[in-house]
Structures are given as C-alpha cells and as structure tokens.
Amino acid sequence: MPDCCQSCMARIPYATLIATLMCLLGVGIFCGTMYRGASLTVIMMDQVFHLRLIWIEAVQMIFVIIAAGMAALGFMILFVGFLATGATRYKVYRAWRSRVGGRISCAVLMGITYLLNFVWTLILCFLVIVTFIYTMFWNMCSSVEQSLSCIDLTQFHFMFPPNTKLEDMKVCEKYEIKAFCKDGVEPAEVMFILATLSTLLVILSLVHYLMCLSANYAHIRDHEKFQELQEIQNLNELEYSATSKDRF
C-alpha cells in the first residue's frame, strides 16, 4: 500500500498544480472584482451623471469568457504536466509519434502562454491607471467632505461624452455626492485594487507555467534520447546472446 501511494504521488506535477491553483484563484478574483467594479461604475454614472454605459455589459461578458478560457488553458497545461511526469511519461511517450506530439503540444502551449502573459501585462497597466484615477476621486471626496464644496471633474473631461456640458461634470447636490463617493467610488476603488493584485497573481502563474512547460519539453526530449540508448542497449544484448549461442 505505501509503495502504491508513493507511485501515485510521484506521478503528480506539483509545480504545474501550484501554477494552476494560482491561475484559477487569480482569474476568479479578477473576474469577480472587475464585474462588481464595472456594475458600480454603471450605477454611479447613471445616478450622478445620467449617462448610460451600454458597452459595459459587453465588457462584463468578456470577463466571463476570460474566466472560462483561462480555466480551460490551465487544465490543458495541467493535463500535459501529468503526462510528462514520473512513470506516466515512460508509458505515454514510448513511440516516436507520441514523443513528437508531446513536444509540439508543449511548444504550442508555451507560445499561447507567452502571448497571454503579454495580454495580462497590458491589463495590469490599464488597471493601474484606473486605480490611480479612482484614488484621485477618493481624495477629492475626502476634501469635499471637509470643505462642503462641489466635486469638480472637468479635468477628467476625457471620461465623458464629447457633448457633455461643463456644469454636468460637477457634483454638488448632497445625494449626488453620496452616490458618487460612498456608493460608487469607495467600493469600486476596493474592487479595482483587488483586481490589480489578482492580475499580478495571474501573471506570476503564467511565468510559472512557462517554466513548467519548458521543463516538460526537456523531459520529453531527454526521454527520446533515453529511449534510443535503451534500444541500442537491447540490440547489443541480443547480438551478444546470439554470438554466445553460436559459440556453444
């Protein structure tokens, strides 16, 4: 029984498994916080500035697609990791075609992971900008609570449609200030900070995936050389046994 457990434990790709858990956790937090942050932004823009952001619904749908795609990629890389680990590798990659297929699958997944790493880096840059803007909003809300003046957002005119009037970019009414600060900016700021941290976790998991895939590619390639050496050794043993029989 202990030998069986030890054999099963040796077949588990721990590095890939850790990377998969990191990826799923990061993507889950990212999609949940971004979905909630986008919803709070839509409500705030509707209640305070009376603007309907219809395109936000499409963005929220993209978050769901990202979650499904990253989960599928994570499980695919984990499956490849299981095939290239321990005794499973010696059973799966015996034939020449299976070894070539394993190396091609690792190379393709490495290319996809590298591209996704670049995409998630762009997402991180975007989130840093969004978080910085909401941090400025939060500071403006804190100063308004002390001075009891209006919140002037004219310096953020690029965030509004081109035909928006300057007076519509100022928040002066009490209920509007509450809807903007307490109900909108503060909870959305927390969501975007969590989304930024989760993006860092996803990038770290993708780097971890690249290292695991590179190692699996090397293992499959080295296994091919080991298989060739073993075949040569088997041929030598057959020739030696044949010559021994001829002598007697």
Digitized pLDDT (tens) for each residue of the chain, 248 residues in all: 455 566 666 667 788 889 999 999 999 999 899 989 888 888 888 888 777 777 777 887 888 888 888 888 988 888 888 777 765 555 666 666 777 777 888 889 999 999 999 999 999 999 999 999 889 888 888 877 666 677 877 777 777 777 777 777 778 777 888 888 888 888 999 999 999 999 999 999 999 999 988 888 877 776 556 556 556 665 666 665 555 555 54
Cα distances from 195 to residues 182, 203, 220, in angstroms, run: 20, 12, 37
**What residues does each domain of the chain span?**
12-87+102-230
Cβ pair 30, 195 in contact under 8 A: yes
pLDDT at 234: 59
CA atoms of 105 and 92, how far apart (whole Å): 14
The full DSSP string for 45-108 is HHHHS----THHHHHHHHHHHHHHHHHHHHHHHHHHHHHTSTHHHHHHT-SHHHHHHHHHHHHH
pLDDT at 43: 85
> What tokens does 91 get?
């059973």
Cα distances from 142 to residues 121, 177, 213, in angstroms, run: 31, 11, 49
pLDDT at 229: 58
pLDDT at 110: 92
pLDDT at 218: 78
Round to the nearest angstrom and report the end-to-end CA distance of the chain.
46
pTM attached to this predicted model? 0.80
CA atoms of 11 and 143, how far apart (whole Å): 59
pLDDT at 207: 94
